Amino acid sequence: MKNIIYAISILLLFASRKDNTSAQTNRVETKTETSIQHENVAYKSIEVNGMNIAYREAGNPENPSIVLLHGFPASSHQYRKVLNQLSNEYHLIAPDYPGFGNSDFPDSKTFEYTFDNLATTINAFLEKKNINNYAIMIQDYGAPIGFRLATANPERITAIINQNGNAYEAGLGDAWQGIRALWKDRNETTETALLPAFSLEGLKWQYTHGVRNIETVNPDNWNLDYLRLSRPDAHAVNLDLFYDYQNNVKLYPKWQQYLRDNQPPLLIVWGKNDAFFPESGAAAFKKDVTNIDYNIYDTGHFALEEDGDAIIKKMRSFMRKHTK
């Protein structure tokens, strides 16, 4: 227990450092807004490459599609507000990656947990669903998966909605120190140092660090994640993904070139208090994208938890402008 508390305190220490980015931005003052719920979310699954992939789907498939790509340690559950509020106007689909959410959790001996393989699976999922023209909403792990989809088939991407999804080295915060040590030398010591991230306390911290009011964050988030991360082999699988994340960093220049060449409409809705992906990561997109709607929120890594209504209102306006 002492080791867990110590490790989390170190993360908090690093996260407390202020980002001094001077980029111009829309500083969003969050106000209470009335949200309209459209309770027509379906919970489905489909076989993809021998695996059962679970997903949530809402809205008319004839409407413009938005593919919602979740982060770590989450699942499609993180997009429940988006699914409920935008389904009257858009077709929304939120898959769980292999090993996440309600999708199959294949043994690492039969499925190599890399971001290449996660993206390959999600691409096959979308093709099987016959979704070939869509916007993507990316957050955390959703960014390396989404950018792989975009660079492989840029003609399919109608727009990008980015909630703390990184594509620049400038966007890697101090909380990456432990994972960087793993990249440098993967051994028992560097792996053990990261295990507190999978504890209940560590998972709660990821959802609540940097928020204005912890009571606005649904505790189901970290409790559900903890159950999934308590399964046999779950720690090893997620350490594999931590280790493989370095290959995402190597692809950053390719993703940046995609942005420069294709200039997709880009909506930034970023929590500035994210210890992993600070505001500097959001500002970096301004170097490569001219058609950018840039919004910064005074919240943490999972900005939808605290500022969901405001972000969804912005998403609706953005999608109306850029898609038909």
In 3D, which of 20, 1, 7, 244 has the Cα closest to residue 119?
Answer: 244
In 3D, which of 13, 68, 15 has the Cα closest to residue 41?
Answer: 68
CB-neighbour burial class of residue 226 (10 A; exposed 0-12, middle 13-18, buried 19+): middle
| From 70, 91, 301, 322, active-site residue | 301
User: Rounded to the nearest 5°, which phi and psi values hold at 67?
Assistant: -95, 120
Round to whole Å and give the CA distance between 258 and 308: 29
SS3 299: coil
Number of Cβ within a 10 Å radius of residue 232:
9
Place of tokens 């309770």: 39
For residue 147, is it left (φ>0), alpha (ψ between -120 and 50) or beta? alpha
Give yes or no for a contact between 318 and 159, defined as CB atoms under 8 angstroms apart.
yes
Round to whole Å and give the CA distance between 105 and 54: 11
- 209 tagged catalytic: no
- What secondary structure letter does DSSP report for 73? S
Question: What are the catalytic residues?
Answer: 301
